[in-house]
Structure 1
Amino acid sequence: MAINKEWHRSHRMPPKATREQRIAWHAAHKAACGCRDVPASIRADVMKLLRSHRKP
């Protein structure tokens, strides 16, 4: 998938991001851009967060 430059410009990963911040950022990234895979170390948590935001 191509990079969404506008999204990346307006959604910077915070410096020294906490695990929770990284999970939230990667969940938003996957929904808006998806130019790369979610890191394996947080993938399960990101997918759980994305599933919880889905509408039935």
Structure 2
Amino acid sequence: MAINKEWHRSHRMPLKATREQRVAWHAAHKAACGCRDVPASLRPDVMKLLRSRRKS
């Protein structure tokens, strides 16, 4: 998938982001852009968050 430049400009990863912030950012990124894969270390938590959002 191509990069969504507008989304990236308006959704910067916070400096020294916590794990929760990183998981939330990557979940939003996967939904809006998906120009790269979620890091393996965060993938289970990101997928869990995305599944919980679909159920709501």
Instruction: Tell me the TM-score normalised to structure 2 length.
Output: 0.96
Q: How many pairs were matched up?
A: 56
Query: Runs of 4 or more off by more than 3 Å in structure 1?
Result: none
Find the counterpart in structure 2 of residue 11 from structure 1. Answer: 11
- Unmatched 5+ stretches in structure 1: none
- Unmatched 5+ stretches in structure 2: none
**Per-residue CA shift, 1:2-55, capped at 9, x if unaligned?**
000000000000000000000000000000000000000010000000000014
Aligned Cα root-mean-square deviation (Å): 1.1
Quick one: percent identity of the two aligned structures? Answer: 89
